[in-house]
Amino acid sequence: MKTRDRLRIAMQKSGRLTEPALELLNRCGLTFRQSRDKLFCFGDGEPVDLLLVRDDDIPGLIAQGVCELGIVGRNVMNEFQLAAGRDSAPLREWRPLGFGRCRLSIAVPQEFDYRRPQDLAGQRIATSYPGLLGEWLRTHGVDATAVTLSGSVEIAPKLGTADAICDLVQSGGTLVANQLRETEVLLESEAVLAGPVALPADERGDMIDLLLKRLDGVIQVRESRLLLLQTSRATLEAVTRLLPGGPQPTLLPVLGQPDQLMLQALCAGEVSWRQLEEIKKAGAREMFVLPVEKMLA
């Protein structure tokens, strides 16, 4: 069989991950002919095409070699690996992507007196993640029954079909609405770039290398902030000590105020209100936090 020379990336056709995944690929310079109602989306510039599928199908498509990469929740990828077992080609999380964050947690009805994992012994736990739940129960030596449901897991205790649940939580609103209390976090999840452990050793592998480099640049820029502020020479040291990590700041003179300096610092992550207030207390004023759009060192 002739190997493909174009790279295929699988992503969710319509759901929580669709928009952020497309935006990320666009930022990496990948654009696609818009036929979003179809399964297949042809890439415009680079030799990269998209497969638009249900998120649950993505790990299997990679394992079968139908596509080289996929953008999928860590929860779905890890569950697939546990369910597929050793017979399936192993997958690797090539990059965490920083969106679609949630956690897989155990939650119990408010009246359930939960203190430790052993309290779940003999109970029925409803979940769409029997693999991940089973692994957690085994590690904690708990003998409980996983009741596998494909949706509406959160109403199982009310219906009397389960005593507890194991489901994805983001804001916690769904749990509160169903009088459930989160008791254990099994997995912290986010969207990831998934692929085979061994990348193809042809043009597709080269394209993946290029894509990973662009992705790293995009992620770095997305998390960078430029902090601008004014300080007097007397408070400069105290202010500098509080700056969030990043390369050495730049100092500029302020016209007509020889005692004042303008400081410019690139920060590696979000700068919170709390951090700004602390820096201000140390003597800074006129503070700005700006997003960075592109960066070329």
Number of residues that bind ligand PRT (CB under 6 A): 21
Using CB under 6 A as the binding rule, whether residue 52 contacts ligand PRT is answered as no
Among the listed residues 48, 52, 67, 76, the single contact to ligand PRT using CB under 6 A = 76
CA distances to 246, 248, 259, 275 from 242, rounded to whole Å, are 12, 13, 20, 8
Q: Which of these ranges, 18-26, 51-59, 138-146, 153-161, lies near Zn ion under the rule CB under 5 A? A: 51-59
Find the shortest distance in angstroms from Cβ 57 to Zn ion: 8
Using CB under 6 A as the binding rule, whether residue 148 contacts ligand PRT is answered as no
Indicate the residue among 9 and 169 with the shorter CB distance to ligand PRT.
169
Contacts of 47 (CB under 8 A, 6+ apart): 5, 6, 7, 203, 207
Helix (H) or strand (E) holding 203: helix 203-223
Using CB under 6 A as the binding rule, whether residue 56 contacts ligand PRT is answered as yes
Cβ atoms of residues 107 and 146 within 8 Å: no
Could you tell me the two tokens for 51? 């497969």
**Cα–Cα distance for residue pair 123/229, rounded to 1 Å:** 57
Number of residues that bind Zn ion (CB under 5 A): 2
Query: Where in 82-121 is the site for ligand PRT (CB under 6 A)?
Result: 100, 102
Using CB under 5 A as the binding rule, whether residue 83 contacts Zn ion is answered as no
Contacts of 249 (CB under 8 A, 6+ apart): 240, 243, 263, 264, 265
Assign 3-state DSSP to the chain and report helix, strand, coil percentages, each to 5. Answer: 35, 30, 35
Q: Which of these ranges, 37-45, 61-69, 166-174, 237-245, lies near ligand PRT under the rule CB under 6 A? A: 166-174
Find the shortest distance in angstroms from Cβ 77 to ligand PRT: 9
* Strand pairing report for 7-12 and 48-53: parallel
Name residue 192's beta-bridge partners: 72, 96
Among the listed residues 32, 43, 55, 186, the single contact to Zn ion using CB under 5 A = 55
Indicate the residue among 33 and 54 with the shorter CB distance to ligand PRT.
54
| Contacting residues toward ligand PRT, per CB under 6 A | 12, 15-17, 54-56, 73, 75-76, 100, 102, 167-174, 189
